Structure 1
């Protein structure tokens, strides 16, 4: 395992150089040659980087080999969980190279950057361990300036501090966030100027850095604020107002839908009523016509003619003389040969014109 030198703020001036070098890092596959001299921490993030890809490391022979341990529960680059190496057991740690599990390091031993878990815990680790979740130490041990030590320095005593700058991006702006760590017990901080442990400050007290506040949150106005990971709590009246608004919105929605559908139902009902009125009026008209026709027929029958068809042969129930005449006479009269004018210009109705039976040859047509 190759131990890395501490990274300081001076490295930020070499940013372009380092970015050029790591542009093609981590692309060498298993069995291909590599160089341990290229193993480093990336600028700004301090993430371990080398020539080999995410599932291999560069061994002492200069070849990329399969990793022998893992630090994370779900490491990057493994598609099949069966191919992932095992995590180290208690009393062992997995280095940045993830080549193999190694025993914990004693106090004063060199350690990798920000790897508190590589150091051996003190006897009273239960009292010194950090339970705040801010990552102050690992079981009471810290790795400062690449050296293992215990976080057991009390208030007023000399302490060791380590300041590290991380690159922070806000939109297109790039700034530096300084993280300061020390070996003071939990509840104290190591002052960067005096190099002594001092008591952390409470809320709304003046501060210059996050480490000075017990909440590890120094606001922009120079006052200690609430921890950044504390959930936001609101008053009970907010829940009441929100509940009333939700309930009121539901009721208003239901009422609005009811009135809307009611209007639609009224319009459809009016259409059906209008249709029924028209059909009923049409039926009444037909019935009135039938009744009028029936009364007319009955009134004709009651006048004494015996049949309504008698109107074809007389008017007002009075029979004409022609209607009593025999059909033969009517036939003879209708069949008589009459000519208004003869061929020689005489009126056929003239009484002076006499036609004799014996003289039929004199008739001219």
Structure 2
């Protein structure tokens, strides 16, 4: 037994509203077909959700509403008015009626149809669990006041609601009574008893001041109570978050530093290879120069003097009349000159050293 309706029950209550009658305004209906849907106890009629079946057996526009946002109306539609203080809108929604006195018949679970007691401020439900409306309660279709005191007789109404889940269908028992706030009506003894504190043994939610009887059979904290944690938990969470940020930054630093080191090593390797290649070329040039300068020559003349003497001979030969074909050396010299040599020592020495190559 419980005072609280679970979320699945709320969905089950919405279902019949969506399956309301299909007869529109002006259509024929039967007042005798009006009933409460079994398992959900929602009001049903032949008319749709925006009309009611009048005494002429025709669907007519509703003349009042009890909800702030009634079901079935289109967005922007003109809604019927809500009733003023001292009046109520019945389930049919035909018109506003005066509240009912104690002992008058009332519609199922319509505490708002009953007239409140003089001390309604003291008896009104302050828990938000729907124990009564302004100290009035409708039990077994009779208007009562929720003013039964501790140890006195009380009235209980136990209603079984059908609850649908994703796998099965169960029954949820909701127990209501007319005891004063802070008390509950024991179903067996039919007397008002004080609500129990946390960790006390219980059989139903209504026995606990928190309205939450755990499966273990003891009263637990209220189901809608906010969860508060100690200050040290916030400190630990903050330190963990800050530590995670710092660790991430450090990890990214070392990761990027490794990448930078690898790229730097690649550039250094490339530079070393290029520098070694350049040094090899310079060494080859130097070796070639020394090899040419150290070639053996006939006589006591040095390679440089031989070159100069050869140049003088070539100059003298150029002054002679062209009575015969040019000498072999002169031809070589002219050939090299035509090929673009600048007449440096190395080129002339190559001509002198191996004239037969050409």
Shorter-chain-normalised TM-score: which range? 0.7 to 0.9
Query: How far apart are the structure 2 equivalents of 1:225 and 1:177?
Result: 19
Describe the SS at the equivalent of 2:324. Answer: helix
- Residues 297 and 82 from structure 1, CA distance in 2 versus in 1: closer, same or farther, beyond 3 angstroms? farther
Matched residue, 1:39: 34
Matches within 5 A, 1:171-250: 171-250=166-245
Contact preservation (8 Å) 2:17, 2:42: no
Task: Provide the residue aligned with 2:356 in structure 1.
Answer: none
Question: Which residue of 2 is the match for residue 61 of structure 1?
Answer: 56
How many residues are paired up? 306
1:324 CA drift (Å): 7.9
User: Are the structure 2 counterparts of residues 23 and 139 from structure 1 closer, same or farther at C-alpha, using a change threshold of 3 Å?
Assistant: closer
Instruction: Report which of the two structures shows the higher radius of gyration computed on alpha carbons.
Output: 1
Alignment of 1:120-131 (within 5 A): 120-131=115-126
Of 67, 74, 77 in structure 1, the residue corresponding to residue 69 of structure 2 is 74
Q: Name the SS of the counterpart of 1:260 in structure 2.
A: helix
1:31 Cα deviation from its structure 2 partner: 1.9
Name 1:105's counterpart in structure 2. 100
Separation in structure 1 between the aligned mates of residue 236 and residue 257 of structure 2, nearest angstrom: 31
User: Which residue does the alignment assign to 2:257?
Assistant: 262
- Consecutive unaligned residues of structure 2, counting only runs of 5 or more, are 1-15, 294-302, 329-358
What is aligned with 1:271?
A: 266
Instruction: Give a deviation string over 1:198-245, Cα, whole Å, max 9, x none.
Output: 222222222222222222222223222222222222333322222222
Of structures 1 and 2, the one with the larger relative CO (CA 8 A, separation 6+) is 2
**Per-residue Cα deviation, 1:99-139 (whole angstroms, up to 9, x for no partner):** 22222111111111111111111110011111011111110
Relative to structure 1, is the Cα distance of residues 126 and 284 closer, same or farther in structure 2, using a 3 angstrom cutoff? same
Structure 1 position 270, deviation (Å)? 3.0
- Residues 241, 331 of structure 1: alpha-carbon distance in 2 compared, 3 angstrom cutoff: closer
Moved more, 131-140 or 39-48: 39-48
Cα distance between partner residues in 2 of 1:333 and 1:185: 143
Match of 2:337 in 1: none
Note if 1:330 corresponds to 2:331: no
What per-residue deviation string (whole Å, max 9, x for no partner) do you get for residues 60-109 of structure 1?
Answer: 22222222222222222222234222222222212212222222111111
CA change 1:74–1:280 in 2 (3 A) is: farther
Counterpart secondary structure, 1:330: coil
Deviations 1:272-323 (A, max 9, x none): 444445555666777888999999999xxx946897xx8xxx4xx6849x95
> What SS does structure 2 have at the residue aligned with 1:126?
helix
Match of 1:143 in 2: 138
